[in-house]
Amino acid sequence: MRTLTSTVDLDATPRQVWDVLIDGRAHAKWDPFITQLDGTLEVGNKIDVRIAPPGGKPMSFHPTVTHVEPERRLAWLGRFLVPGLFDGAHSFTLEPLPDDRTRLTQSETFRGLLVPFSGRLLQRTEAGFTAMNEALRQRLAERHTA
């Protein structure tokens, strides 16, 4: 098992952050990591996600939404081929901060037989989290000044 986490404090309310995160069609415009997020974000639904890890090949997968709590948490579980081979439980957790700010924690726990052999992919994924968090900060700043 391996968990990757990236946290960023944002100058926006949880509602503002949530609205940008769940606008799947807009990700392609601002997000360098999650370049596609299509589907209905309801527990039990399969969604279409495409990621572009820095320095790696883009990948598409179809995780199942496991948690939706507006303005608080969004999570999904993706699997490679069969359960237990390479599973990734991804989440976005929003924590309200004073002065209408928000702490966003993006996290993914990987489990399965292939995880010990996936070091480079996991490094690139972690770099993707960081790039996405910074792009989200910029996106929110643009929306706030628009």
Can you give the pLDDT at residue 61?
A: 93
The candidate with the shortest Cα–Cα distance to 50, out of 58, 127, 27, is 58
Beta-carbon contacts of 8 under 8 Å, excluding residues fewer than 6 positions away, are 103, 104, 133, 134, 136, 137
Check: CB of residue 121 under 8 Å from CB of residue 86: no
Q: What is this structure's pTM?
A: 0.92
Can you give the pLDDT at residue 144?
A: 67
Check: CB of residue 91 under 8 Å from CB of residue 106: yes
Per-residue pLDDT 10s for the chain (146 aa) are: 999 999 999 999 999 999 999 999 999 999 999 999 999 999 999 999 999 999 999 999 999 999 999 999 999 999 987 778 899 999 999 999 999 999 999 999 999 988 888 889 899 999 999 999 999 999 999 876 65
